[in-house]
Structure 1
Amino acid sequence: MSTQGQQVLKTLHIPAGAGPRYWVYGDVDTIKLASEETKGRLTLIETLVPPGGGTPRHIHHRESESVYVLEGELAVLDKGEMVRVGAGSLVHFPQGVLHQFRNPGEEQSKILLLFTPAGFEKFFEEIGEPVVEGQAGPAVTPEYIARAHRVSLKYGQEIEE
């Protein structure tokens, strides 16, 4: 089989705890796969969502987003209502669909975020603050939210709240 003229991708192993980590909206987001590793096909982010944490209502105009719950539970926006989903559940939000998720529980939730096509990890890198072990994340202030609104437009995301 010839690979002449094609970019050859290599097998990757990203160990537990590895990958750039950012505080975004009070969640800890670890970028496991970015555009560069997938030829722009997929972004994969592991997210720790504290009780009460999550995202504002938003729409992606460039990519679809899927959320796979590894631990805990989430409340996700479905047809205007928040619906609870637990570990082992997958929720897919097609491009252009208003969506949101929140952790309604009393324990941290652990989820995987999948974006197709890739590229949305750049939003996390720009809006997030790097995680420093042993230090609490920055407060989600009105100034932070206003900045997130401005930056999101650059990445084809519209934040409703």
Structure 2
Amino acid sequence: MKISKQNAEHYVWGDGCDGWYLHKGDETIIHERMPPGTSEERHVHERAAQFFFILTGQVVMEMDGEWHELGPQEGLRIAPGTPHCIHNRSHDAAEFLVISKPGTKGDRIPQAELKPD
């Protein structure tokens, strides 16, 4: 079946950000949109590796204390167990793909719940 934002399962996350499930299974592929000035909560996935690929706009990804600026046609892999969060500090919306393997359902630990080493 052909999949697009128009027929994909939609959800809202964070402060007015959108996600569309393009694929759910052993891995998930999600198309996400972040309005200007939004960010997500810092968190960790214990099992899932993730790859973020920017389609439009500019984002800043914080990954284990390091900051990475990403623009269109650029991506970044997040290894399992790596604290991370994404920010859209620009004046334009950003859209990107998030590919997670395995899927992240039940595998998201917010920063506040992380145990210190």
TM-score band (shorter)? 0.7 to 0.9
User: What is the deviation of 1:112?
Assistant: 0.4
Residues 49 and 103, structure 1, Cα contact 8 Å, conserved in 2: yes
5 Å-filtered alignment, 1:143-154, equals none
Deviations 1:83-112 (A, max 9, x none): 211111111001111111111110000010
Please state which structure has a larger fraction of its residues in strand: 2
Q: Hey, what does 2:9 align to over in structure 1? A: 20
Q: Deviations over 1:3-44 (max 9, x none)?
A: xxxxxxxxx421342201111112100011011xxxx2x100
Does residue 1:51 correspond to 2:40, yes or no?
A: no
- Bigger CA radius of gyration: 1
Letter in 2 for 1:157: R
Q: 1:160 — aligned with what?
A: 111
Give the alignment partner of residue 23 of structure 2, picking from 29, 33, 52. 33
SS at match of 2:38: coil
Provide the rounded CA distance (Å) in 2 between the counterparts of 1:157 and 1:20.
20
Gaps of at least 5 residues in structure 2 are: 113-117
TM-score, structure 1 normalization: 0.64
1:23 is matched by which residue type in structure 2? Answer: V
Identity of aligned residues (%): 21
Q: Counterpart in 2 of 1:133? A: none
After TM superposition, the runs of 4+ consecutive aligned structure 1 residues lying more than 6 A away are none
Structure 2 residue identity aligned to 1:30: W
Using structure 2 for the length normalisation, give the TM-score: 0.87
Matches for 1:118-157 after TM superposition, within 5 Å? 118=103, 120=104, 122=105, 155-157=106-108
Q: Which has the higher helix share?
A: 1
Count of residue correspondences: 111
Aligned to 1:3: none
Deviation of 1:81 after TM superposition, in Å, equals 3.2
Structure 2 distance, partners of 1:117, 1:92, is 14
Separation in structure 2 between the aligned mates of residue 97 and residue 81 of structure 1, nearest angstrom: 11
Gaps of 5+ in 1: 1-11, 123-154
